[in-house]
């Protein structure tokens, strides 16, 4: 590879593409494969343990009217159509 090494892999667990670029030094194919394996495993563990908090709805939000639906411009009204 050139002075700026890059490598694209596909994560088998998620099917997403992983892009890695080394901007300094040189790495062998084995070192890059080990790095990708470690980072993929760490990302998978982080993703599996991530928990999204439930959105809180305040009493103020519950009592408010919803936003009005947009006006339908395709329905004519009065003399102003045309």
Residue 56 resides in a domain: no
As for how many domains the chain has, the answer is 1
Give a yes or no: residue 28 inside a domain: yes
Let me know if residue 65 belongs to a domain: no
Task: Give, for all 82 residues of the chain, the pLDDT tens digit.
Answer: 444 555 565 656 666 776 777 888 888 889 888 988 898 899 888 888 888 888 888 888 777 777 788 888 787 776 665 5
In a domain, 80, yes or no: no
* Cα 30 from Cα 81, distance rounded (Å): 72
| Phi–psi pair at 29, nearest 5 degrees | -60, -40
Where in the sequence is the domain holding 44, given as residue range(s)?
1-48
Answer yes or no: is 3 within a domain: yes
Instruction: Rounding to the nearest 10 degrees, give the CA dihedral for residues 64, 68, 69, 73.
Output: 180
Q: Does residue 55 form part of some domain?
A: no
**Looking at the whole model, is its pTM more than 0.75?**
no
CA-based end-to-end distance of the chain: 66
Is 23 within a domain?
Answer: yes
């Amino acid at each position: 590879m050139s002075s700026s090494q890059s490598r694209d892999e596909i994560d088998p667990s998620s099917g997403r593409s992983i892009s890695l670029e080394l901007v300094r030094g040189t790495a062998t194919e084995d070192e890059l494969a080990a790095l990708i394996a470690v980072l993929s495993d760490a990302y998978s563990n982080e993703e599996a343990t991530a928990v999204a908090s439930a959105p809180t709805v305040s009493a103020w939000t519950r009592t408010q009217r919803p936003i009005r639906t947009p006006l339908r411009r395709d329905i004519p009204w009065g003399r102003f159509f045309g």
